[in-house]
């Protein structure tokens, strides 16, 4: 991320999960080794920005056609602020 945070985003189709670690997450050991405290700070910062992401490091967020360009633009700004805050 441009905020200097080590993060890997794993995705399948419209499902995605950010893991606060460097490199791909291929096994449970990889996921378990991520920075869960940083995820918590990131999640709290997103809530402050009005974006409700799944609260667990091990859940996926989903994109859909219900997310219009205004919602995506707001989420992009909120994520930048949350990455800077965590």
* Beta carbons within 8 Å of 51's beta carbon, 6+ residues apart: 74, 75, 78, 79, 82
Segments in the chain forming alpha helices (H)? 28-32, 36-48, 69-85
Domains delineated in the chain? 8-85 (3.90.1150.10)
Burial of 50 from C-beta contacts in 10 A (0-12 / 13-18 / 19+): exposed
* pTM of the complete model: 0.86
Q: 29-84: per-residue pLDDT in tens?
A: 999 999 999 999 999 999 999 999 999 999 999 999 999 999 999 999 999 999 99
């Amino acid at each position: 991320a441009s905020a200097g945070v080590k993060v890997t985003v794993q995705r399948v189709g419209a499902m995605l999960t950010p893991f606060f670690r460097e490199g791909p997450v291929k096994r449970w050991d990889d996921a378990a080794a991520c920075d869960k405290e940083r995820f918590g700070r990131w999640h709290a910062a997103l809530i402050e920005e009005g974006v409700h992401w799944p609260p667990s490091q091990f859940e996926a967020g989903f994109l859909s056609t219900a997310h219009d360009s205004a919602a995506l633009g707001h989420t992009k700004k909120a994520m930048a602020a949350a990455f800077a805050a965590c």
